Each structure stands twice: as structure tokens, then as C-alpha cells.
Structure 1
């Protein structure tokens, strides 16, 4: 599986965001809008 992260929406739809920069650690994540974040998984 390609490195990156994914977002799973309430209806079960998943959106994958690849790690194009080859980061070893994510030091900053910003979320805009009305969102309830219940899980954050990096693979």
C-alpha cells in the first residue's frame, strides 16, 4: 500500500491522500469547517 493517509466519511466512502513529499512524520494537520474527527490513522 502506498504511504499516505485516508479519510473515511460517515457513509463509508474513503478518500486516500498519498504522501507525495515522503515525510517520516506528520507535524501539522489543519482541519477547516464543521468536522467531528473520531480517528486519525497514519500508515
Structure 2
């Protein structure tokens, strides 16, 4: 699929917010100031 920008503030997790390659996540795609970006990112 296409790449989507993820800002750390969109990650719905307590403590240190980070994603690793291979993490399975669910998210919404929204229009940001510089194009498409992820919102409400949750690890599954």
C-alpha cells in the first residue's frame, strides 16, 4: 500500500509512543497540512 505519515501524537498509547517496523496497527486517514496522515493509531 501507500505510505502515510504518522506523528507520534496520533499514537493512542500510554507512556513512550513508538512504532516498530512490522507492528500491526489500525488507524484513520485524514488530510493534514502536508497531505494524508494517520490519526487515532492503535496497536492490535
TM-score interval (norm. to shorter): under 0.3
- So what's the TM-score if we normalise by structure 1? 0.21
Q: Which structure features the higher share of strand residues? A: 2
- So what's the TM-score if we normalise by structure 2? 0.21
Q: Which structure features the higher share of helix residues? A: 2
